[in-house]
Structure 1
């Protein structure tokens, strides 16, 4: 069993609190994504799990074993970094087998694991080449194969796709998801890319300011953001937040108490023939199967995502309403109350 238990982890750097009593449970064989903006603490937390950083206080368990004070080589983990770190003077086969040779594994096992990992990543035909002969996507596959070859209890991945172009990123994301389902290794994956998080994760830990603000499955995080930060960070375009009570009523939304902010996903705002909030289209972006309309609801920006047809043009008058049951409500602390 290789469940991960992070208990009240704090990390301070010269008086700055990078992590504020983080607790997190990752189930055996689960794919957990740490998602958040730069500086939120997600990489620091991963480095503490890996043993590359020492926490100020708190405990890290992998399975039933406390990892506090143990060096990375004694944690049976593997890491894949943003820059791949493929050794240029070694062949691809030697790169993949490097971790096993460092552990003084028998050569027969090294060969077996190199072939298995290369096959999983579809790079068995590249084993005799060097890194300089490979594309960025191929080097990324080598880095993942090297991590898999040691059969770790836990796989840690720190923005491994961020150096790839958009099309290759999409392809590798799909392959990674299938691969990690197959090998069933407990995985923690760091990213600032919400699309990666939504498509890969079993559960997402959304981080902000050194804290986990929501930890749940992708549909729950998207549909019921725990606070306005999550609603604004996840979703493209992000969630609308409307404070004007008259606008809320005109959209067909009645708050459960006074003074609450209405949260509405752009696709939860629909165009109606009559009886809605009168607005005027300001900016219209055609996105293929859909169009994004930016307008003003009172003095506040309202984003609407709707089907591409019928086409809306700038300055066109519209009437809009919230779809039934789509509203979310937030208090003065920006926390969800309903």
Structure 2
């Protein structure tokens, strides 16, 4: 039966191959530390329940924490650098782009198409899900497995179209990872940060500060505080999903719902949208803002953010008024 940790092992294997390639790249001025960074990150994906049973949960958590600290030191001291990736010359790439034209989008489009087809098949063909994944609720695994198949399909299509060797695709993966650098691990770290903030009672602290220092008896002030708070905390954490339970527990439920008798469904929907406004304006949302700049090889890493700030601010203002008008009908 296919299990979730197989996907983790695959991700870890790819990162370890990237690490070995980095160590062998003599043109990388920081090849040892660059390889170490990706090797440590890859090893984390191989650690699972078996390691916890062998070492103990507390020891394992400490070990993972030390690994993250070492990775942070490597990245902070400039230990992740670009190297040589055996790319074609600019003239050869331009000629290939002209030859392929809009067909270049096919590998990228194959990923969502195959993912959707896979999810539909597993959900509608009797017995298929159980045969592949076993008994139980495997909704998340179905989606991730289908996406993996979609990525493999896109990879094979790209190899066929470009006539490149499979090893070159790994070189390109290494180039993108080195270009993105430390920002690549932000989603995992920020998700953990959200759990820590929630466990530490940050929502309660926000509620106390809000009720003490702001005139939340006024509905508009309360609504604006909630929406702006969602955007600001998302900018800090890089993830609206991580910010949502904290701000909602501190402001949304006790003030907007309990005190002002607002509609919780409207609050949740527009509140999340307000958080997404913050996602448009922060480098912490690496998947949305830093990765595209690296993929497009933009000279300014913050170019995507600068282009999105006007939209983010305008949408946030609109969300405040939408909450004010719709939540208390």
* TM-score (normalizing by structure 2): 0.20
Which structure is higher in RCO with an 8 Å CA cutoff and minimum separation 6?
1
Which structure features the higher share of strand residues?
1
